[in-house]
Amino acid sequence: EAGVAQSPRYKIIEKRQSVAFWCNPISGHATLYWYQQILGQGPKLLIQFQNNGVVDDSQLPKDRFSAERLKGVDSTLKIQPAKLEDSAVYLCASSSLRTGGNGRAYNEQFFGPGTRLTVL
């Protein structure tokens, strides 16, 4: 199956500018996630969509970050205005329900290649 696609792969902007990232999940995956990964840290969930509805955006800085998934497929994440501390890799992931060898269902997340954002 084709993987999660993200664009652009790299973006350099100056602080106070705005930027948008795009994600195309694996076909048929209802759940989509955006993570922020700051250098030296693990990914941190920003927002989770189930189809086109938000499930969890508790760690999204809503004064500057926004995300949408209007048709329940592609998603965009926007930062406006950007700050220096927003420099990070932004990962998109999607998931579906799978059945393990023990017959139990589990949810496996598949990650995209990420967008590396540098804010100068």
**Where do contacts with other proteins occur on this chain (CB under 8 A)?**
3-4, 31, 40-45, 48, 55-56, 91, 95, 100-102, 104, 106-114
Q: Which is nearer to other proteins, 7 or 17 (CB)?
A: 7
Q: Please, which residues have CB within 8 angstroms of residue 45's CB and are 6 or more apart in sequence? A: 33, 34, 35, 56, 59
Q: Which is nearer to other proteins, 16 or 44 (CB)?
A: 44
Tokens in use for 96?
A: 């579906």
Place of tokens 């967008």: 115
Cα dihedral 58, 17, 53, 106, rounded to 10, equals: -70
CA distance 53 to 64: 20
**Closest separation in Å from C-beta 71 to other proteins:** 21
**Closest separation in Å from C-beta 28 to other proteins:** 16
**Closest separation in Å from C-beta 112 to other proteins:** 7
**Closest separation in Å from C-beta 81 to other proteins:** 27
